[in-house]
Amino acid sequence: MKIVNKKRFPKKFIAISIAVLLLASTPFIYVYAFNGNLFGWNNHQSSKPKNSTKGIDTINYSPATKEQQDAGNQTKSGSSDTPSAPTPIPNSTKKNVQLTITAAQQNGSTLQIRVMIGAVEGAGVCTLTLTSVGQSTVTKTTNSQALASTSTCQGFDIPISELPAGTWRAIIEYNSTALTGSATQDIVVK
């Protein structure tokens, strides 16, 4: 007759296994108990406002109404990426061209000013004049550069050391044999 001995796991092995299992599951229990917040950090951000009702989709996916379509068409017709065409100047051979200051900002120790010219022409001169009450006038000149549908002044980079802090009036003038135009903007130098 054979005697079968049942092997028992030692009590120490069972205790260690339970301890490891508890330690491994503690972070998951913690996250579950605090609704996904681990150590005070939210592991997912909700894009819904805090006062929105949970579980309700507030986006209207139905087709636009007639009023919404009309409002969109009106907005589209009132905006344009292309500037207006140069207009004749009475008693002059030149035409007036639209200038748009596209950037006027202080980047570190440099004041950068960029200008778009509303016509394709690369043979003109851009002149920047900066004035401020009680300060010396600063004047810079650069050439124009033709692009695909407009032109641009090649850019003005003025060292801040030439401009004491305060409000400066920037006047940009463009002149060529066929076109002339100007734009003005106030700029705060810090």
Where do the structural domains in the chain lie, given as residue ranges?
Answer: 11-42, 87-189
pLDDT at 41 over 60: no
For 137: left if phi > 0, alpha if psi spans -120 to 50, otherwise beta; the answer is beta
Which pTM value belongs to this model? 0.58
pLDDT of residue 133: 92
3-29: per-residue pLDDT in tens?
666 666 678 888 898 999 888 888 777
> Which residue did the predictor score with more confidence, 51 or 74?
74
What mean pLDDT, rounded, does the chain reach?
Answer: 83
Nearest to 81 by CA among 97, 100, 96, 65: 100
pLDDT of residue 35: 64
- Alpha carbon of 45 to those of 39, 119, 174: distances in Å? 15, 47, 50
pLDDT of residue 92: 92
pLDDT of residue 27: 73
131-176: per-residue pLDDT in tens?
999 999 999 999 999 999 899 999 999 999 999 999 999 999 999 9
Distance between CA 30 and CA 50 in Å, rounded? 24
| Secondary-structure class of domain 87-189 per CATH | mainly beta
84-138: per-residue pLDDT in tens?
889 999 999 999 999 999 999 999 999 999 999 999 998 999 999 999 999 999 9
pLDDT of residue 78: 55
Residues in Cβ contact with 103 at an 8 Å cutoff, skipping those fewer than 6 apart: 112, 113, 114
At 74, is the pLDDT very low, low, confident or very high (cuts 50, 70, 90)?
confident
pLDDT of residue 44: 54
pLDDT of residue 91: 93
